[in-house]
């Protein structure tokens, strides 16, 4: 199954836009040739191929001009449902991180590469599709999944990028939240 078959609209980024940032070759190639979906579970949205403030692929300091120059190392590629920024850290081998906008943009690790982040999106979508298929149309919204289903998600994330499930990481927190929501809905 192709990337756009899974996520619908995909944004490929213009080489001129990408090349002005100090991205490694694999990250640059990914953004130019594979791109990012417009939206993906869990409630993520991604940047457009423009320079428009709050919508485009820009440095964090272009969005928030009050930040110190230390924050110029972050290129925004999207945001979470609660408004945290999804970024590429160009000073840390282009790792994907989430910056908590309510905690002075503190860093939360997501994945070691953009490819692994994209695979994480695919794995999470497969989890959502599986629980809907097996447990009913509202299964995801109702946190209706069993221990085996969440275990399979966690194991597939570990195989994809073992660091993505370390305590405090983005994907680990998503799994913790899924389980907490399930317990709350019992």
Q: Tell me the β-bridge partners of 107.
A: 99
- Please give the chain's pLDDT, 186 residues, in tens: 467 788 888 999 999 999 999 999 999 999 999 999 999 999 999 999 888 887 889 999 999 989 999 999 999 999 999 999 999 999 999 999 999 999 999 999 999 999 999 999 999 999 999 999 999 999 898 899 999 999 999 999 999 999 999 999 999 999 999 999 998 887
Question: In whole angstroms, what is the distance from residue 95 CA to residue 87 CA?
Answer: 8
Q: Give pLDDT, residue 2.
A: 66
The pTM for the full model equals: 0.94
Calculated CA dihedral for residues 47, 48, 49, 52, nearest 10 degrees: -90
Q: Give pLDDT, residue 36.
A: 95
Q: Give pLDDT, residue 74.
A: 97
CA end-to-end span of the chain: 35
Q: Give pLDDT, residue 23.
A: 96
């Amino acid at each position: 199954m192709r990337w756009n078959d899974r996520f619908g609209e995909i944004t490929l980024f213009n080489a001129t836009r990408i090349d002005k940032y100090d991205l490694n070759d694999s990250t640059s190639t990914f953004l130019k040739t594979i791109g990012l979906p417009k939206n993906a579970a869990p409630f993520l949205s991604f940047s457009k191929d423009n320079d428009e403030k709050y919508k485009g692929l820009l440095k964090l300091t272009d969005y928030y001009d009050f930040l110190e120059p230390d924050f110029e190392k972050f290129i925004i590629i999207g945001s979470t449902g609660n408004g945290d920024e999804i970024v590429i850290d160009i000073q840390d081998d282009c790792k994907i991180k989430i910056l908590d906008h309510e905690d002075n943009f503190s860093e939360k690790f997501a994945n070691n590469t953009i490819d692994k982040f994209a695979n994480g999106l695919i794995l999470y979508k497969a989890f959502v599709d599986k629980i809907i298929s097996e447990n009913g149309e509202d299964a995801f919204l109702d946190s209706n999944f069993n221990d085996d289903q969440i275990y399979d998600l966690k194991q597939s994330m570990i195989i994809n990028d073992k660091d993505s499930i370390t305590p405090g990481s983005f994907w680990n927190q998503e799994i913790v939240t899924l389980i907490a929501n399930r317990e709350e809905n019992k």
